[in-house]
Amino acid sequence: MNNIISSERKLVTPSIYAKTHYLYVQEAGSLQSYSPHVSARKDLESILFLVVTEGSGRLIYEGNEITLASGDCAFIDCRKSYSHESSADHPWRLQWVHFYGSDAEHFINAYSDQNLSTVFHPGNPSVFINLLSQIFKNCASQGFAAELETHRLLTDLLAMIFMTHSQSQGAAETQGKLYQIRDYMESHLSERITLESLAKLFYISKYHLSREYHRIFGETLINDLNTLRISHAKSQLRFSDAPVEEIANSCGYSDSAYFVHVFRQAEGITPLQYRKQWRG
């Protein structure tokens, strides 16, 4: 221990397979600060997630200075310049993980596209603290199973982060209406459905509907509708003897040739090829 901080950390060197296929830990740990100490980095291919478990400090990120207090969490794209520093009056204790992987950029982009805040305060920070502790503990293990478990834990962490934002930012009434809209689409796949018709039917601005649907479900409404239709078509292809034209109509595609085109784009094969593969 020095007179500035004490820390416990584990640095991990993942296998080539893990780097190619998984999310993997680069470094995980905890620290106790005893006096202000600036940690500054940039141009790292890494995501940093941290939780302030005690005390307070500040984060400078994308030109903004943000105060952090006990229970606050931060999601940081380390390719950008950032720095953080404990306060002098209330030195902080942190838990953190640096991680990256094959899908890391996708999550970074999704976080940015949804305009999610860098710093947030979950209703129950202990859930994140406990998960970081599990990640830290798992860093001591090696081998295929350990790397797969690390991937699972990091995926759980990302899911919790996005779900926490969804719960805190979306009004309950709006979320409820969006789930009603999705249920409606799934029950009326054979009908002509547009953003405008749904907005009118559910008394919601089409611009608000479009924005909030993407934020809650992580996909545009029209793309999600197409996904629902293709999923329904796959079920019909596997569990019925209906011809492709009939299945296309039941999924809202009046032009069977266009349905075949959309299906091939989604699955990489034609509807009849899918039926043959999955029915033997």
CATH of the domain at 141: 2.60.120.280
Domain match, 148 and 253 both: no
Q: Which of 113, 140, 169 is the last residue of a domain?
A: 169
- Res. 1: pLDDT tops 50: no
- Res. 93: pLDDT tops 60: yes
Query: Greatest CA separation found in the chain?
Result: 76
Q: Which of 145, 169, 193 is the last residue of a domain?
A: 169
| Token pair 């249920």 in the structure block, residue | 183
Query: CA 180, CA 259: separation in Å to the nearest integer?
Result: 26
- Res. 2: pLDDT tops 70: no
User: What is the tens place of the pLDDT at every residue in 148-186?
Assistant: 999 999 999 999 999 888 765 555 567 778 889 999 999
- Res. 78: pLDDT tops 70: yes
Domain match, 45 and 132 both: yes
Neighbours of 268 (CB within 10 A): 9
Domain match, 187 and 161 both: no
Domain match, 156 and 179 both: no
Count of domains for the chain? 2
Q: How much helix, strand and coil, in percent to the nearest 5, is found in the chain?
A: 50, 20, 30
Domain match, 55 and 123 both: yes
Domain match, 11 and 117 both: yes
User: What is the tens place of the pLDDT at every residue in 109-121?
Assistant: 999 988 889 999 9
Give the range of the structural domain holding residue 261, as residue numbers without chain letter. 172-279
Q: What is the CA radius of gyration of the chain?
A: 24
Q: Which of 136, 169, 202 is the last residue of a domain?
A: 169
Domain match, 160 and 229 both: no
Which tokens hold the place of 48?
């940093």
Report which DSSP code applies to 189. Answer: T
pLDDT of residue 171: 54
Domain match, 23 and 114 both: yes
pTM: 0.69
Domain match, 140 and 184 both: no
User: What is the tens place of the pLDDT at every residue in 182-212?
Assistant: 999 999 999 999 999 999 999 999 998 998 8
One-character DSSP codes across 102-169: TTHHHHHHHHHHTT--SEE--S-HHHHHHHHHHHHHHTT--SHHHHHHHHHHHHHHHHHHHHHHHHHH
How large is the average pLDDT for residues 216-238? 93
Domain match, 136 and 242 both: no
Q: Between 221-239 and 172-187, two packed helices, what is the crossing angle to 10 degrees? A: 40
Domain match, 129 and 204 both: no
Domain match, 83 and 182 both: no
CATH value at residue 250: 1.10.10.60
